[in-house]
Amino acid sequence: MKFPKEFLWGGATAANQCEGAWNEDGKGASIQDYMPHGIMQGPSEVIDKHNLKLEGIDLYHHYKEDIALFAEMGFKVYRMSIAWSRIFPNGDDEKPNEKGLEFYDNVFDECKKYGIEPLVTLSHYETPYHLAKKYDGWRSRDLIGFYEKYVRTVFTRYKGKVHYWITFNEINSIWHFPLMGAGILTPKNSLSAQDLYQAAHHELVASALATKIGHEIDSENKIGCMVLGLTSYPRTCNPDDVIATMEESKRGYFFTDIHMRGYYPSYALKMMEKEGVVLDATDEDLEILKNTCDFLSFSYYMSKCIASNPEQYEKGKGNLTTGVKNPYLQESQWGWQIDPKGLRYLLNTYYDRYQKPLFIVENGLGAKDTLLSEEKDGYWVEDDYRIQYMNDHLAQVSKAIEDDGVEVMGYTSWGCIDLISASTAEMKKRYGFIYVDRNNDGTGTFKRYKKKSFYWYKNVIETNGKII
Ligand code: BGP
Q: Which of 125, 226, 230, 362 to mutate to test the pocket of ligand 1 (most atoms within 8 A of CB)?
A: 362
Using the CB atoms, write b or e for 384-402: b if 16+ within 10 Å: eebbebbbebbbbbbbbbe
CA 249 – CA 379 distance, rounded (Å): 43
- Residue 443: count of CB within 10 angstroms of its CB: 9
Q: State in Å: Cα 413 to ligand 1 middle.
A: 11
Measured by CA distance, the residue closest to atom 10 of ligand 1 is 422
Domain ranges of the chain: 8-462
Evaluate whether the domain defined by 8-462 bears CATH number 2.40.50.100. Answer: no
Q: Which of 301, 319, 419 to mutate to test the pocket of ligand 1 (most atoms within 8 A of CB)?
A: 319
Q: Which of 30, 421, 427 to mutate to test the pocket of ligand 1 (most atoms within 8 A of CB)?
A: 421
Q: Which of 42, 356, 362 is nearest to 222 (CA)?
A: 356
pTM surpassing 0.90?
yes
Active-site entry in 19, 110, 362, 407: 362
Q: Which residues line ligand 1 (CB under 6 A)?
A: 14, 17, 169-170, 228, 299, 319-320, 362, 366, 414, 421-423, 429
Ligand 1 atom closest to 38 (CA) = 15
Please, which residues have CB within 8 angstroms of residue 290's CB and are 6 or more apart in sequence? 208, 262, 263
0.85 surpassed by complex ipTM: yes
CA 455 – CA 116 distance, rounded (Å): 18
Task: Report yes or no: 307 and 313 within 8 Å, Cβ to Cβ.
Answer: yes
CA 431 – CA 276 distance, rounded (Å): 42
Using CA of residue 296, residue 300, residue 306, residue 310, what is the dihedral sign? negative
Using CA of residue 123, residue 129, residue 130, residue 132, what is the dihedral sign? positive
| Residuewise pLDDT in 10s, the chain (468 residues) | 999 999 999 999 999 999 999 999 999 999 999 999 887 777 888 999 999 999 999 999 999 999 999 999 999 999 999 999 999 999 999 999 999 999 999 999 999 999 999 999 999 999 999 999 999 999 999 999 999 999 999 999 999 999 999 999 999 999 999 999 999 999 999 999 999 999 999 999 999 999 999 999 999 999 999 999 989 999 999 999 999 999 999 998 999 999 999 999 999 999 999 999 999 999 999 999 999 999 999 999 999 999 999 999 999 988 777 899 999 999 999 999 999 999 999 999 999 999 999 999 999 999 999 999 999 999 999 999 999 999 999 999 999 999 999 999 999 999 999 999 999 999 999 999 999 999 999 999 999 999 999 999 999 999 999 999
Q: State in Å: Cα 320 to ligand 1 middle.
A: 9
362 is annotated as an active-site residue: yes
